[in-house]
Structure 1
Amino acid sequence: MAQSERLLETLQSGPQQDSETPLSQSLLLGFDTETTGARPGSDAIVSATLVLRNPGLGHSKDVMGEWIINPHRKMSPGASRVNGFTDAYLQEHGMEPQDALERIAKVIATAQLANIPLLAYNAPFDVAMLQHDLGQWKLESLESRMGGDGILIVDPLVIDRAVSHRSGKRTLGYTTEYYGVEPDGDFHNATADTVAAVDLIQPMTTLYPQIGRLTVGELMVWQQHAHRVWKESFNQWLTSKGRRPIHDGWFE
Protein backbone atom coordinates (compact mmCIF):
# COMPACT_ATOMS: atom_id res chain seq x y z
CA MET A 1 0.00 0.00 0.00
CA ALA A 2 1.33 3.46 -0.92
CA GLN A 3 2.38 5.59 2.03
CA SER A 4 -0.26 8.25 1.39
CA GLU A 5 -3.01 5.64 1.11
CA ARG A 6 -1.97 3.98 4.38
CA LEU A 7 -1.90 7.37 6.09
CA LEU A 8 -5.38 8.23 4.83
CA GLU A 9 -6.75 4.81 5.77
CA THR A 10 -5.29 5.10 9.28
CA LEU A 11 -7.03 8.44 9.76
CA GLN A 12 -10.33 7.28 8.29
CA SER A 13 -10.43 4.16 10.48
CA GLY A 14 -9.38 5.97 13.66
CA PRO A 15 -11.65 7.49 16.32
CA GLN A 16 -12.77 11.09 16.58
CA GLN A 17 -10.45 12.91 19.01
CA ASP A 18 -12.11 14.79 21.85
CA SER A 19 -11.63 18.56 22.05
CA GLU A 20 -10.81 18.07 25.74
CA THR A 21 -7.75 15.96 24.87
CA PRO A 22 -4.63 17.61 26.36
CA LEU A 23 -1.80 18.46 23.99
CA SER A 24 0.52 16.01 25.76
CA GLN A 25 -1.83 13.15 24.79
CA SER A 26 -3.08 14.43 21.45
CA LEU A 27 -2.56 12.74 18.10
CA LEU A 28 -0.75 15.14 15.80
CA LEU A 29 -0.33 15.37 12.04
CA GLY A 30 3.08 16.92 11.35
CA PHE A 31 3.54 18.88 8.12
CA ASP A 32 6.48 20.48 6.35
CA THR A 33 7.29 21.60 2.82
CA GLU A 34 10.25 22.48 0.67
CA THR A 35 9.54 25.09 -1.98
CA THR A 36 10.86 26.87 -5.07
CA GLY A 37 11.40 29.97 -2.95
CA ALA A 38 10.13 31.83 0.10
CA ARG A 39 7.21 33.81 -1.35
CA PRO A 40 3.73 32.33 -0.92
CA GLY A 41 1.75 33.45 -3.92
CA SER A 42 4.77 33.40 -6.22
CA ASP A 43 6.61 30.21 -5.28
CA ALA A 44 5.36 26.63 -5.03
CA ILE A 45 5.77 23.40 -3.09
CA VAL A 46 8.25 20.87 -4.46
CA SER A 47 8.32 18.45 -1.53
CA ALA A 48 5.94 17.76 1.34
CA THR A 49 5.71 15.32 4.22
CA LEU A 50 2.87 14.44 6.59
CA VAL A 51 3.59 12.41 9.74
CA LEU A 52 0.83 11.07 11.98
CA ARG A 53 2.11 10.71 15.55
CA ASN A 54 0.27 8.87 18.31
CA PRO A 55 2.10 9.83 21.54
CA GLY A 56 0.92 6.63 23.19
CA LEU A 57 2.72 4.55 20.54
CA GLY A 58 5.79 6.70 19.97
CA HIS A 59 8.10 7.49 17.10
CA SER A 60 8.41 3.95 15.78
CA LYS A 61 4.69 3.76 15.00
CA ASP A 62 4.52 6.99 12.98
CA VAL A 63 2.51 6.76 9.78
CA MET A 64 4.00 8.89 7.02
CA GLY A 65 3.30 10.24 3.55
CA GLU A 66 5.92 11.90 1.35
CA TRP A 67 5.49 13.68 -1.97
CA ILE A 68 7.90 15.08 -4.57
CA ILE A 69 6.12 17.55 -6.84
CA ASN A 70 6.94 19.01 -10.25
CA PRO A 71 5.91 22.64 -9.65
CA HIS A 72 6.02 23.62 -13.35
CA ARG A 73 8.08 26.64 -12.42
CA LYS A 74 11.77 27.17 -11.86
CA MET A 75 13.59 26.72 -8.58
CA SER A 76 15.19 29.87 -7.27
CA PRO A 77 18.98 29.40 -6.97
CA GLY A 78 18.87 30.20 -3.26
CA ALA A 79 16.15 27.65 -2.49
CA SER A 80 17.91 25.03 -4.60
CA ARG A 81 21.11 25.49 -2.60
CA VAL A 82 19.19 25.03 0.65
CA ASN A 83 16.96 22.06 -0.19
CA GLY A 84 18.99 20.43 -2.97
CA PHE A 85 16.18 20.20 -5.54
CA THR A 86 16.90 21.08 -9.16
CA ASP A 87 14.56 21.77 -12.05
CA ALA A 88 15.79 18.65 -13.87
CA TYR A 89 15.23 16.39 -10.87
CA LEU A 90 11.71 17.67 -10.24
CA GLN A 91 10.74 17.34 -13.87
CA GLU A 92 11.94 13.74 -13.91
CA HIS A 93 10.74 12.55 -10.50
CA GLY A 94 7.98 14.92 -9.42
CA MET A 95 4.28 14.09 -9.35
CA GLU A 96 1.85 16.33 -11.17
CA PRO A 97 0.75 19.08 -8.74
CA GLN A 98 -2.96 18.36 -9.01
CA ASP A 99 -2.48 14.74 -7.92
CA ALA A 100 -0.04 15.39 -5.08
CA LEU A 101 -1.81 18.45 -3.69
CA GLU A 102 -5.19 16.73 -3.75
CA ARG A 103 -3.81 13.82 -1.73
CA ILE A 104 -2.09 16.12 0.77
CA ALA A 105 -5.21 18.24 1.26
CA LYS A 106 -7.43 15.17 1.63
CA VAL A 107 -5.21 13.75 4.39
CA ILE A 108 -5.08 17.07 6.26
CA ALA A 109 -8.85 17.60 6.00
CA THR A 110 -9.53 14.05 7.21
CA ALA A 111 -7.32 14.65 10.27
CA GLN A 112 -8.95 18.01 10.95
CA LEU A 113 -12.44 16.49 10.82
CA ALA A 114 -11.21 13.99 13.45
CA ASN A 115 -10.02 16.91 15.63
CA ILE A 116 -6.35 16.04 15.08
CA PRO A 117 -4.24 19.23 14.89
CA LEU A 118 -1.89 19.99 12.03
CA LEU A 119 1.57 20.60 13.49
CA ALA A 120 4.08 22.74 11.60
CA TYR A 121 7.04 24.83 12.71
CA ASN A 122 6.31 28.41 11.63
CA ALA A 123 3.00 27.07 10.38
CA PRO A 124 1.71 30.18 8.53
CA PHE A 125 4.37 29.71 5.85
CA ASP A 126 3.64 26.06 5.01
CA VAL A 127 -0.13 26.47 5.23
CA ALA A 128 -0.04 29.60 3.02
CA MET A 129 2.07 27.76 0.44
CA LEU A 130 -0.40 24.88 0.38
CA GLN A 131 -3.44 27.13 0.21
CA HIS A 132 -1.94 29.10 -2.68
CA ASP A 133 -1.01 25.95 -4.61
CA LEU A 134 -4.49 24.49 -4.14
CA GLY A 135 -5.96 27.67 -5.58
CA GLN A 136 -3.38 27.81 -8.36
CA TRP A 137 -4.44 24.36 -9.59
CA LYS A 138 -8.16 25.02 -8.94
CA LEU A 139 -8.47 22.48 -6.15
CA GLU A 140 -10.81 22.77 -3.17
CA SER A 141 -9.42 24.79 -0.25
CA LEU A 142 -8.77 23.25 3.14
CA GLU A 143 -11.51 25.32 4.80
CA SER A 144 -14.05 24.29 2.20
CA ARG A 145 -13.21 20.63 2.74
CA MET A 146 -13.93 21.14 6.43
CA GLY A 147 -17.27 22.87 5.97
CA GLY A 148 -15.86 26.37 6.35
CA ASP A 149 -14.18 25.82 9.71
CA GLY A 150 -10.76 27.25 10.44
CA ILE A 151 -7.67 25.05 10.60
CA LEU A 152 -6.63 23.57 13.95
CA ILE A 153 -2.87 24.20 14.27
CA VAL A 154 -0.03 23.44 16.66
CA ASP A 155 3.01 25.65 16.03
CA PRO A 156 6.03 24.79 18.21
CA LEU A 157 7.66 28.11 17.26
CA VAL A 158 4.77 30.11 18.75
CA ILE A 159 4.75 27.92 21.85
CA ASP A 160 8.52 28.18 22.35
CA ARG A 161 8.49 31.97 22.02
CA ALA A 162 5.81 32.15 24.71
CA VAL A 163 7.36 29.88 27.32
CA SER A 164 11.13 29.51 26.96
CA HIS A 165 12.21 33.18 27.21
CA ARG A 166 15.61 32.10 25.88
CA SER A 167 18.03 34.17 23.87
CA GLY A 168 19.39 33.29 20.46
CA LYS A 169 17.94 32.12 17.18
CA ARG A 170 14.71 30.15 16.98
CA THR A 171 15.22 28.23 13.77
CA LEU A 172 14.09 24.61 13.88
CA GLY A 173 17.71 23.49 14.21
CA TYR A 174 18.45 25.69 17.21
CA THR A 175 15.12 24.89 18.84
CA THR A 176 15.54 21.13 18.57
CA GLU A 177 19.03 21.47 20.03
CA TYR A 178 17.64 23.47 22.96
CA TYR A 179 15.04 20.79 23.73
CA GLY A 180 17.45 17.90 23.24
CA VAL A 181 15.77 16.53 20.10
CA GLU A 182 18.11 14.56 17.85
CA PRO A 183 17.29 15.14 14.15
CA ASP A 184 16.56 12.09 12.03
CA GLY A 185 18.34 13.21 8.84
CA ASP A 186 19.42 16.62 7.57
CA PHE A 187 17.43 19.78 8.15
CA HIS A 188 15.84 21.42 5.07
CA ASN A 189 14.52 18.02 4.15
CA ALA A 190 10.74 17.97 4.53
CA THR A 191 10.66 14.57 6.23
CA ALA A 192 13.49 15.28 8.67
CA ASP A 193 11.99 18.68 9.52
CA THR A 194 8.51 17.24 10.04
CA VAL A 195 9.68 14.51 12.39
CA ALA A 196 11.88 16.96 14.32
CA ALA A 197 9.00 19.42 14.75
CA VAL A 198 6.66 16.68 16.02
CA ASP A 199 9.41 15.40 18.33
CA LEU A 200 9.49 18.82 20.05
CA ILE A 201 6.10 18.36 21.67
CA GLN A 202 7.13 15.69 24.19
CA PRO A 203 10.01 17.69 25.75
CA MET A 204 8.04 20.94 25.55
CA THR A 205 5.04 19.51 27.38
CA THR A 206 7.31 17.83 29.93
CA LEU A 207 9.40 20.93 30.63
CA TYR A 208 6.35 23.21 30.64
CA PRO A 209 3.43 21.18 32.08
CA GLN A 210 1.03 24.08 31.53
CA ILE A 211 1.52 23.54 27.79
CA GLY A 212 0.86 19.84 28.12
CA ARG A 213 -2.42 20.58 29.88
CA LEU A 214 -3.71 22.79 27.08
CA THR A 215 -6.62 21.04 25.43
CA VAL A 216 -7.15 20.67 21.70
CA GLY A 217 -10.10 23.03 22.04
CA GLU A 218 -7.96 25.70 23.72
CA LEU A 219 -4.96 25.58 21.40
CA MET A 220 -5.88 28.15 18.77
CA VAL A 221 -6.95 30.93 21.14
CA TRP A 222 -3.88 30.36 23.32
CA GLN A 223 -1.48 30.50 20.37
CA GLN A 224 -3.17 33.54 18.82
CA HIS A 225 -2.76 35.39 22.11
CA ALA A 226 0.83 34.20 22.48
CA HIS A 227 1.67 35.45 19.00
CA ARG A 228 0.13 38.87 19.68
CA VAL A 229 2.16 39.23 22.89
CA TRP A 230 5.37 38.21 21.12
CA LYS A 231 4.68 40.52 18.16
CA GLU A 232 4.12 43.52 20.43
CA SER A 233 7.41 42.90 22.21
CA PHE A 234 9.28 42.24 18.97
CA ASN A 235 7.89 45.38 17.37
CA GLN A 236 9.05 47.45 20.34
CA TRP A 237 12.55 46.07 19.77
CA LEU A 238 12.36 46.74 16.01
CA THR A 239 11.22 50.32 16.61
CA SER A 240 14.05 50.90 19.08
CA LYS A 241 16.46 49.91 16.30
CA GLY A 242 14.84 52.24 13.79
CA ARG A 243 13.29 49.34 11.85
CA ARG A 244 9.76 48.87 10.59
CA PRO A 245 7.37 46.83 12.74
CA ILE A 246 5.82 43.65 11.43
CA HIS A 247 2.08 43.24 10.94
CA ASP A 248 1.75 39.50 10.41
CA GLY A 249 -1.01 37.75 12.28
CA TRP A 250 -1.23 34.10 13.26
CA PHE A 251 -4.32 32.42 11.80
CA GLU A 252 -6.66 35.22 12.87
Structure 2
Amino acid sequence: MSWISDALVAFDLETTGTDVETDHIVTAAVVRLEADGAVSHERTWLLDPGVAIPEQASAIHGISTAHARAHGAPAGTAVGEIAHAVAEVLRSGTPLVVMNARYDLSLLDRECRRHGVASVGERLGGVPAPVIDPLVIDKHVDKYRKGRRALQALCAHYGVELEGAHDARADAVAAARVVRRMGERHEPVGLMALADLHALQVRAAAEQSASLQAYLRRTADPAAVVEQAWPVIPRPR
Protein backbone atom coordinates (compact mmCIF):
# COMPACT_ATOMS: atom_id res chain seq x y z
CA MET A 1 0.00 0.00 0.00
CA SER A 2 1.30 3.46 -0.90
CA TRP A 3 1.74 6.09 1.79
CA ILE A 4 -0.68 8.38 -0.07
CA SER A 5 -3.52 5.94 0.57
CA ASP A 6 -2.84 5.61 4.29
CA ALA A 7 -3.07 7.89 7.31
CA LEU A 8 -0.76 10.88 7.67
CA VAL A 9 -0.01 12.99 10.75
CA ALA A 10 0.94 16.62 10.24
CA PHE A 11 2.87 18.91 12.58
CA ASP A 12 3.12 22.68 12.50
CA LEU A 13 4.42 25.53 14.66
CA GLU A 14 3.78 29.24 14.86
CA THR A 15 6.63 31.07 16.53
CA THR A 16 8.18 34.34 17.66
CA GLY A 17 10.41 34.57 14.58
CA THR A 18 12.47 32.66 12.04
CA ASP A 19 15.74 31.85 13.85
CA VAL A 20 15.80 28.26 15.09
CA GLU A 21 18.52 29.07 17.61
CA THR A 22 16.85 32.01 19.35
CA ASP A 23 13.12 32.03 18.66
CA HIS A 24 10.32 30.35 20.59
CA ILE A 25 7.15 28.35 19.99
CA VAL A 26 3.84 30.19 20.36
CA THR A 27 1.37 27.61 19.04
CA ALA A 28 1.67 24.01 17.84
CA ALA A 29 -0.57 21.38 16.29
CA VAL A 30 -0.37 17.65 15.67
CA VAL A 31 -3.21 16.47 13.42
CA ARG A 32 -4.02 13.01 12.06
CA LEU A 33 -5.67 12.75 8.64
CA GLU A 34 -7.12 9.49 7.44
CA ALA A 35 -6.84 8.18 3.89
CA ASP A 36 -9.97 10.09 2.84
CA GLY A 37 -8.50 13.35 4.12
CA ALA A 38 -10.76 13.59 7.15
CA VAL A 39 -9.28 14.72 10.46
CA SER A 40 -9.64 11.90 12.99
CA HIS A 41 -7.55 13.26 15.86
CA GLU A 42 -5.87 16.52 16.72
CA ARG A 43 -4.05 18.23 19.53
CA THR A 44 -3.12 21.89 19.72
CA TRP A 45 -1.10 23.99 22.15
CA LEU A 46 -0.91 27.68 23.01
CA LEU A 47 2.28 28.53 24.89
CA ASP A 48 3.47 31.41 26.96
CA PRO A 49 6.91 31.56 25.32
CA GLY A 50 8.38 33.50 28.22
CA VAL A 51 9.49 36.33 25.94
CA ALA A 52 7.71 39.15 24.18
CA ILE A 53 6.23 38.17 20.82
CA PRO A 54 7.42 40.67 18.20
CA GLU A 55 4.68 42.67 16.52
CA GLN A 56 5.74 41.34 13.13
CA ALA A 57 5.18 37.75 14.31
CA SER A 58 1.87 38.64 16.01
CA ALA A 59 0.68 40.21 12.76
CA ILE A 60 1.24 36.88 11.00
CA HIS A 61 -0.29 34.39 13.44
CA GLY A 62 -2.53 36.68 15.47
CA ILE A 63 -1.20 35.84 18.95
CA SER A 64 -0.13 38.80 21.07
CA THR A 65 2.23 38.73 24.02
CA ALA A 66 -0.64 39.62 26.37
CA HIS A 67 -2.84 36.81 25.05
CA ALA A 68 -0.06 34.24 25.27
CA ARG A 69 0.78 35.26 28.84
CA ALA A 70 -2.85 35.16 29.92
CA HIS A 71 -3.89 31.92 28.23
CA GLY A 72 -0.75 30.01 27.26
CA ALA A 73 0.64 26.96 29.02
CA PRO A 74 4.10 27.17 30.62
CA ALA A 75 6.58 26.71 27.79
CA GLY A 76 8.60 23.94 29.43
CA THR A 77 5.55 21.79 30.10
CA ALA A 78 4.09 22.29 26.63
CA VAL A 79 7.38 21.69 24.82
CA GLY A 80 7.72 18.34 26.56
CA GLU A 81 4.17 17.41 25.54
CA ILE A 82 4.78 18.42 21.93
CA ALA A 83 8.02 16.44 21.71
CA HIS A 84 6.28 13.41 23.23
CA ALA A 85 3.39 13.65 20.74
CA VAL A 86 5.71 13.96 17.73
CA ALA A 87 7.92 11.10 18.90
CA GLU A 88 4.90 8.84 19.43
CA VAL A 89 3.75 9.44 15.86
CA LEU A 90 7.14 8.50 14.44
CA ARG A 91 7.54 5.56 16.81
CA SER A 92 4.30 4.15 15.40
CA GLY A 93 5.71 4.26 11.87
CA THR A 94 3.17 6.83 10.69
CA PRO A 95 4.80 9.46 8.48
CA LEU A 96 5.01 12.96 9.91
CA VAL A 97 4.22 15.71 7.42
CA VAL A 98 6.04 18.97 8.19
CA MET A 99 6.14 21.92 5.83
CA ASN A 100 9.75 23.16 5.90
CA ALA A 101 10.68 20.48 8.42
CA ARG A 102 14.21 21.84 8.72
CA TYR A 103 12.74 24.86 10.54
CA ASP A 104 9.93 23.39 12.66
CA LEU A 105 11.76 20.28 13.85
CA SER A 106 14.98 22.18 14.52
CA LEU A 107 13.19 24.85 16.53
CA LEU A 108 11.41 22.17 18.56
CA ASP A 109 14.79 20.55 19.18
CA ARG A 110 16.24 23.83 20.47
CA GLU A 111 13.21 24.45 22.68
CA CYS A 112 13.69 21.01 24.20
CA ARG A 113 17.29 21.86 25.02
CA ARG A 114 16.27 25.26 26.41
CA HIS A 115 13.73 23.70 28.79
CA GLY A 116 15.71 20.62 29.73
CA VAL A 117 13.40 18.01 28.24
CA ALA A 118 14.22 15.11 25.93
CA SER A 119 14.13 16.04 22.25
CA VAL A 120 12.29 14.04 19.61
CA GLY A 121 15.59 12.54 18.44
CA GLU A 122 16.57 11.60 21.98
CA ARG A 123 13.21 9.95 22.55
CA LEU A 124 13.58 7.95 19.32
CA GLY A 125 17.28 7.23 19.63
CA GLY A 126 18.04 8.77 16.24
CA VAL A 127 17.06 11.34 13.63
CA PRO A 128 13.26 11.78 13.38
CA ALA A 129 11.89 9.62 10.55
CA PRO A 130 9.90 9.08 8.43
CA VAL A 131 9.26 12.75 7.70
CA ILE A 132 7.54 14.08 4.57
CA ASP A 133 8.23 17.72 3.68
CA PRO A 134 6.03 19.29 0.98
CA LEU A 135 8.58 22.03 0.37
CA VAL A 136 11.47 19.65 -0.33
CA ILE A 137 9.35 17.30 -2.43
CA ASP A 138 7.83 20.07 -4.53
CA LYS A 139 11.26 21.51 -5.32
CA HIS A 140 12.42 18.01 -6.27
CA VAL A 141 9.54 16.99 -8.53
CA ASP A 142 9.00 20.42 -10.14
CA LYS A 143 12.46 21.94 -9.98
CA TYR A 144 12.08 24.66 -12.61
CA ARG A 145 8.58 25.94 -11.84
CA LYS A 146 8.67 29.66 -11.24
CA GLY A 147 6.96 31.42 -8.37
CA ARG A 148 6.68 31.13 -4.62
CA ARG A 149 6.62 27.79 -2.79
CA ALA A 150 5.21 28.85 0.56
CA LEU A 151 2.31 26.74 1.82
CA GLN A 152 -0.32 29.10 0.45
CA ALA A 153 1.30 28.95 -2.98
CA LEU A 154 1.51 25.15 -2.88
CA CYS A 155 -2.15 24.93 -1.89
CA ALA A 156 -3.10 27.08 -4.87
CA HIS A 157 -0.91 25.07 -7.23
CA TYR A 158 -2.18 21.68 -6.10
CA GLY A 159 -5.81 22.70 -5.64
CA VAL A 160 -6.01 22.37 -1.86
CA GLU A 161 -8.14 24.71 0.24
CA LEU A 162 -6.33 26.49 3.07
CA GLU A 163 -8.67 27.86 5.71
CA GLY A 164 -6.99 30.26 8.13
CA ALA A 165 -3.37 30.47 6.98
CA HIS A 166 -0.79 30.79 9.77
CA ASP A 167 -2.99 28.94 12.21
CA ALA A 168 -0.98 25.89 13.27
CA ARG A 169 -3.88 23.46 12.92
CA ALA A 170 -5.01 24.83 9.56
CA ASP A 171 -1.49 24.82 8.17
CA ALA A 172 -0.89 21.26 9.37
CA VAL A 173 -4.06 19.99 7.70
CA ALA A 174 -3.26 21.81 4.47
CA ALA A 175 0.31 20.50 4.39
CA ALA A 176 -0.89 16.90 4.68
CA ARG A 177 -3.47 17.35 1.94
CA VAL A 178 -0.96 19.08 -0.33
CA VAL A 179 1.67 16.38 0.04
CA ARG A 180 -0.90 13.66 -0.65
CA ARG A 181 -1.90 15.53 -3.81
CA MET A 182 1.77 15.75 -4.78
CA GLY A 183 2.15 12.01 -4.37
CA GLU A 184 -0.89 11.40 -6.56
CA ARG A 185 0.31 13.77 -9.26
CA HIS A 186 3.95 12.67 -9.20
CA GLU A 187 3.54 8.92 -9.05
CA PRO A 188 7.15 7.82 -8.60
CA VAL A 189 7.23 9.73 -5.30
CA GLY A 190 3.77 8.57 -4.29
CA LEU A 191 4.73 4.93 -4.75
CA MET A 192 8.00 5.06 -2.82
CA ALA A 193 8.51 3.19 0.44
CA LEU A 194 8.65 5.62 3.36
CA ALA A 195 12.29 4.86 4.17
CA ASP A 196 13.25 5.50 0.55
CA LEU A 197 11.20 8.70 0.43
CA HIS A 198 12.85 9.98 3.60
CA ALA A 199 16.31 9.21 2.18
CA LEU A 200 15.39 10.93 -1.09
CA GLN A 201 14.48 14.09 0.80
CA VAL A 202 17.76 14.07 2.72
CA ARG A 203 19.60 14.09 -0.60
CA ALA A 204 17.23 16.51 -2.31
CA ALA A 205 17.31 19.01 0.55
CA ALA A 206 21.12 19.00 0.49
CA GLU A 207 21.18 19.50 -3.28
CA GLN A 208 18.64 22.32 -3.10
CA SER A 209 20.61 24.10 -0.39
CA ALA A 210 23.87 23.69 -2.28
CA SER A 211 22.28 25.16 -5.40
CA LEU A 212 20.90 28.14 -3.48
CA GLN A 213 24.24 28.69 -1.78
CA ALA A 214 26.05 28.71 -5.11
CA TYR A 215 23.54 31.19 -6.50
CA LEU A 216 23.89 33.52 -3.51
CA ARG A 217 27.67 33.38 -3.70
CA ARG A 218 27.54 34.33 -7.38
CA THR A 219 24.98 37.11 -7.05
CA ALA A 220 24.91 38.52 -3.53
CA ASP A 221 27.32 37.29 -0.88
CA PRO A 222 30.54 35.38 -1.67
CA ALA A 223 30.52 34.01 1.88
CA ALA A 224 26.87 32.87 1.95
CA VAL A 225 26.21 29.55 3.69
CA VAL A 226 22.91 27.67 3.33
CA GLU A 227 22.23 24.80 5.73
CA GLN A 228 22.08 21.41 4.01
CA ALA A 229 21.02 19.15 6.88
CA TRP A 230 17.44 17.85 6.86
CA PRO A 231 15.06 17.28 8.68
CA VAL A 232 16.89 18.63 11.76
CA ILE A 233 19.78 21.08 11.77
CA PRO A 234 22.51 19.77 14.10
CA ARG A 235 22.90 21.72 17.33
CA PRO A 236 25.80 24.19 17.35
CA ARG A 237 28.76 23.13 19.46
* TM-score, structure 2 as length reference: 0.90
User: Is 1:237 equivalent to 2:221 in the alignment?
Assistant: no
- Aligned-pair CA distance for 1:121: 0.6
Instruction: Identify which of 128, 132, 135 aligns with 1:151.
Output: 128
Q: How does 1:70-81 map to 2 (within 5 A)?
A: 70-81=48-59
- Aligned-pair CA distance for 1:139: 0.7
Mapped to 2, the partners of 1:132 and 1:231 lie a distance apart of 21
Q: Who is 1:38 aligned against?
A: 18
User: Mind listing any 5+ residue stretches in structure 2 that lack a counterpart?
Assistant: 233-237
Q: Who is 1:18 aligned against?
A: none
Mapped to 1, the partners of 2:82 and 2:214 lie a distance apart of 39
Q: Who is 2:200 aligned against?
A: 222
Instruction: Identify which of 82, 98, 108 aligns with 1:120.
Output: 98
- Aligned-pair CA distance for 1:201: 2.1
> Which residue identity does 1:161 align to in structure 2?
K
User: Mind listing any 5+ residue stretches in structure 1 that lack a counterpart?
Assistant: 1-20
Contact persistence 1:46–1:70 (CA under 8 A): yes
User: Is 1:131 equivalent to 2:131 in the alignment?
Assistant: no
2:14 aligned counterpart, secondary structure: strand
| Stretch deviating more after TM superposition (43-52 or 96-105) | 96-105
- Aligned-pair CA distance for 1:192: 1.2
Contact persistence 2:95–2:132 (CA under 8 A): yes
- Aligned-pair CA distance for 1:25: 2.9
- Aligned-pair CA distance for 1:107: 1.3
- Aligned-pair CA distance for 1:34: 0.7
Q: Who is 1:167 aligned against?
A: 146
- Aligned-pair CA distance for 1:23: 2.7
> Which residue identity does 1:82 align to in structure 2?
I
> Which residue identity does 2:164 align to in structure 1?
D
Tell me how large the CA RMSD over aligned residues is. 1.6
**Paired residue total:** 228
Identical-pair percentage? 28
> Which residue identity does 1:181 align to in structure 2?
V
- Aligned-pair CA distance for 1:170: 0.8
Mapped to 2, the partners of 1:234 and 1:143 lie a distance apart of 27
1:218 aligned counterpart, secondary structure: helix
Q: Who is 1:141 aligned against?
A: 119
> Which residue identity does 1:211 align to in structure 2?
V
1:215/1:105 CA distance change after superposition, 3 Å:
same
- Aligned-pair CA distance for 1:151: 0.4
- Aligned-pair CA distance for 1:32: 0.6
Mapped to 2, the partners of 1:135 and 1:242 lie a distance apart of 34
Mapped to 1, the partners of 2:167 and 2:117 lie a distance apart of 26
Cα deviation 1:22-56 (Å, max 9, x = unaligned): 3323432201111111112211101001111221x
Cα deviation 1:70-125 (Å, max 9, x = unaligned): 11111112111111111110011101122222221111111111111221110111
Contact persistence 1:50–1:64 (CA under 8 A): yes
Contact persistence 1:23–1:211 (CA under 8 A): no
1:91/1:206 CA distance change after superposition, 3 Å:
same
